Chain A
């Protein structure tokens, strides 16, 4: 069993390292995230954010503009997760008063 686990782990690590070797360089201009069009032929959203974030929102911090405006739905979900964690702790841990 132990040898099997070791074998699976080594295989997974080898696959990951093989995948890393094929990655483009950091900030390479021809890497898929940095091109005008994605592989599916649609316009790349990240470029739009980088180019238009300040004009759209007057917010110099591009990360904040993306987090709370362009991707506001995602951040709403994150807040709901925090809220759900609080409610779960309330339900499990808080003892009801007799």
Chain B
């Protein structure tokens, strides 16, 4: 199976489109209070932008955008943000997930508004990281052969080693 289509036009257009997808994903997350949208939808769009880069220039080069090792911690952090928002108010003496007890010093309706935003942010982070992590797990790790349209002068094997380097945490001492 070929992991990505090695083409300069595909790589450049994916890189051109990705920031706009991410901007719109953030809009969907933050505008979920006023229009259809929210954490799940925005997180899925964010994951789509990560996967677009992975599909167009390959997983190894996409490590510069969203590292493979960020997937599982990201989904944990997102879920913990949600759970933490619910648990903080328990320690301050109100019910679980009752945002009126958040220690922010705002009137109660605005506290609930802020609580909804925090929760949606947690959901967005969790969904984006989890979907990217599932893709990475499905593709698996394999040595990269070459990159499309990034740095043309570097020899392919050397650069692949550099990109995969920080992920390996004391791997082969070949230097």
Which of A59, A60, A61, A79 contacts B123, CB < 8 Å?
A79
A4-12, A39-47, A87-95 - interface stretch: A87-95
The residues of B that contact A60 with a CB separation of less than 8 Å are 33-34
Which of B36, B112, B123, B133 contacts A56, CB < 8 Å?
B112
Which of B96, B110, B120, B126 contacts A82, CB < 8 Å?
B126
The residues of A that contact B39 with a CB separation of less than 8 Å are 68
| In contact, B34 and A90 (Cβ under 8 angstroms) | no
| In contact, B38 and A68 (Cβ under 8 angstroms) | yes
Of residues 45 through 98 on chain A, the ones whose CB sits less than 8 Å from some CB of chain B are 55-61, 63-65, 67-69, 72-73, 75-76, 78-80, 82-83, 85-87, 89-90, 93-95
0/1 interface trace, chain B 115-139, chain A, CB 8 Å (1 if under)? 1100110110011011001100110
* 9 pairs of A and B residues whose beta carbons are closest in the complex: A86-B130, A93-B137, A72-B97, A57-B112, A58-B109, A68-B116, A89-B137, A83-B79, A89-B134
The CA-CA distance from A57 to B78 in the complex, in Å, is 22
| In contact, B96 and A73 (Cβ under 8 angstroms) | yes
Prevailing SS type, chain B contact patch: helix
A58 vs chain B, min Cβ distance (A): 4
Prevailing SS type, chain A contact patch: helix
B112 vs chain A, min Cβ distance (A): 4
| Contacts A59-B112, A69-B115 known; 19 new A-B pairs at CB < 8 A | A56-B109, A58-B110, A59-B34, A59-B116, A60-B33, A61-B32, A61-B34, A61-B35, A65-B112, A73-B96, A75-B119, A75-B123, A76-B97, A79-B82, A87-B72, A89-B138, A94-B137, A94-B140, A95-B140
| In contact, B133 and A90 (Cβ under 8 angstroms) | yes
Q: Is B99 engaged at the interface, CB distance under 8 Å to the other chain?
A: yes
Of residues 96 through 110 on chain B, the ones whose CB sits less than 8 Å from some CB of chain A are 96-97, 99, 109-110
| In contact, A93 and B76 (Cβ under 8 angstroms) | no
| In contact, B113 and A59 (Cβ under 8 angstroms) | yes
| In contact, A86 and B72 (Cβ under 8 angstroms) | yes
| In contact, A57 and B38 (Cβ under 8 angstroms) | no
A58 and B137 in contact, given A63-B36, A83-B126 (Cβ under 8 angstroms): no
The residues of A that contact B127 with a CB separation of less than 8 Å are 79, 82
| In contact, A68 and B126 (Cβ under 8 angstroms) | no
The residues of A that contact B163 with a CB separation of less than 8 Å are none
B50 vs chain A, min Cβ distance (A): 14
Q: Is B17 engaged at the interface, CB distance under 8 Å to the other chain?
A: no
A68 and B79 in contact, given A56-B109, A57-B109, A82-B126 (Cβ under 8 angstroms): no
